[in-house]
Amino acid sequence: VLLIIECVKAVVSPIKNKGELKMPLTFIPTWVNGFPQNAQAAVGRALTTWRNALASAVNVDITLVWGVNLPNNLTAICIPNAIENFVGAPLKNTWYPSALADKIRGQDLQGNDEDMTVFFDQNINWNVTANVPQQNEVDIESVALHEVCHGLGFVSTFWQAAWPAIGSYGGDELMDLVDLVVQVTGQQLGFPLYKLNRHPSVYGVHVRQHPGTYLTDPGQFVNPSTQLGSALVGGGLVFDLPARPVYAPNPFLPFTSIDHLDDPNSLMRPSIAAGQQTRAIDQPVLDIMRALGW
Ligand SMILES: [Zn+2]
């Protein structure tokens, strides 16, 4: 059953005067598929944590989809809307999550579309209370905090084919997989799917070997190439300035490799186990969000 998602349109804010406006990051949620009230409250607490950590003059429109059957043992997944080459974009041919592009530009660039869609799996024993999760419960506030971080830009466009091990970024494989996930859930995104045009994300351009070169430096790595494929699983990858090790296992894991920190205590570690909670944003993650332009 396809739901028609009623998009809540953000009020278009005036172009900000640089350095004058310091507004909290306000989310406008659209709850889909019978999202329970207590689960809404728990996810809402995660949105408040982000609200208090970052600033923007433009509201973030977020669609939250309850109770879908996600493939590949996924607990939840966030698909960010994205835009490149908008007026005032700091980097050309580079994907920005639309929420960040709006913040940089100071206006809602895609006013009819949501900024991100988050899907929550139906087969999870969710803790939706403010209490510490039980050992057999997955804490939805922690997962929401993590997923929204992806939606705000903590995501690359890297991909590695299994064999031959060709590495790439911005290829069609990634969005084809997103499209498959969306089809499997039977729910819609709050925005049209887009092609990545073989371009990196603003997060991706910060990833480099340590010590070594940037993976998206065309003078160092051809896109696509086996050299890039080796680098994606070769270890020693960091998000630069300050250097933070990123999770880059061998074999490559779609949606997981590069897009997480290799730090068992960080909000952006690759997975949150049952019984765990991480309801705060650690400094390494905040540093990265600032580096992206927040
Ligand atoms: Zn994640």
Position 26 pLDDT exceeds 80: yes
Q: What separation in Å is there between the alpha carbon of 220 and the centre of ligand 1?
A: 28
- Report residue 31 as tokens: 């709850």
> Residue 79 pLDDT more than 60?
yes
Residue in the block written with tokens 């709850």: 31
> In this predicted structure, what is the pLDDT of residue 73?
85
More reliable by pLDDT, 164 or 42: 42
65 φ, ψ (degrees, to nearest 5): -110, 120
* Contact criterion met (CB below 8 Å) for 138 and 82: no
> What's the pLDDT score for residue 250?
94
More confident residue, 13 or 266: 266
Mean pLDDT of the chain: 92
E-state strands within 91-196: 96-97, 116-121, 126-127, 138-139, 158-160, 167-169
| CA 151/CA 148 separation, integer angstroms | 5
Please, what is the angle between helix 37-53 and helix 140-151, to 10°? Answer: 50
E strand residue ranges, the chain: 27-32, 60-68, 76-80, 82-83, 96-97, 116-121, 126-127, 138-139, 158-160, 167-169, 207-209, 237-239, 244-245
- Give the separation between CA 126 and CA 138, rounded to whole angstroms: 5
Cα–ligand 1 centroid distance for 249 (angstroms): 14
Q: Mean pLDDT over residues 21-46, rounded?
A: 95
Q: What is the mean pLDDT of residues 194-205?
A: 97
Q: Which amino acid is at 98?
A: S
Q: What is the pLDDT, as a whole number, of residue 164? A: 80
Q: What was the pLDDT predicted at 4?
A: 40
Q: Which of 38-47, 131-140, 233-242 has the lowest mean pLDDT?
A: 233-242
Between 280 and 6, residue with greater pLDDT: 280
Two tokens at 98?
Answer: 């639309």
C-alpha of residue 183 to centroid of ligand 1, in Å: 20
What would the pLDDT profile of 213-240 be if each residue is shown by its tens digit? Answer: 999 999 999 999 999 999 999 999 999 9
The whole-number pLDDT of residue 14 equals 44
Pairing of strands 207-209, 116-121: unpaired
- What is the Å distance from ligand 1's center to 287 Cα? 17
| Ligand 1 centroid, distance to 271 Cα (angstroms) | 7
pLDDT(181) > 80: yes
Place of tokens 């590069």: 258
Name the more confident of 22 and 171.
171
- Do residues 292 and 202 make contact, with C-beta atoms less than 8 angstroms apart? yes
Q: What is the structure's pLDDT at 9?
A: 37
124 Cα to the center of ligand 1, angstroms: 16
Distance 79 CA to ligand 1 centre (A): 11
| pLDDT > 80? residue 264 | yes
Burial of 20: CB neighbours in 10 Å, binned 0-12, 13-18, 19+: exposed
**pLDDT mean over 175-192:** 93
State the pairing for strand pair 126-127/27-32.
unpaired
Q: How many residues does the chain have?
A: 294
CA of 147 to the centre of ligand 1 (A): 6
Q: Residue 3 pLDDT > 70, yes or no?
A: no
Query: How many angstroms separate the alpha carbon of residue 281 from the centre of ligand 1?
Result: 14
| pLDDT tens profile 141-150 | 999 999 999 9
Q: Is the pLDDT of residue 162 over 90?
A: no
Quote the pLDDT of residue 21. 56
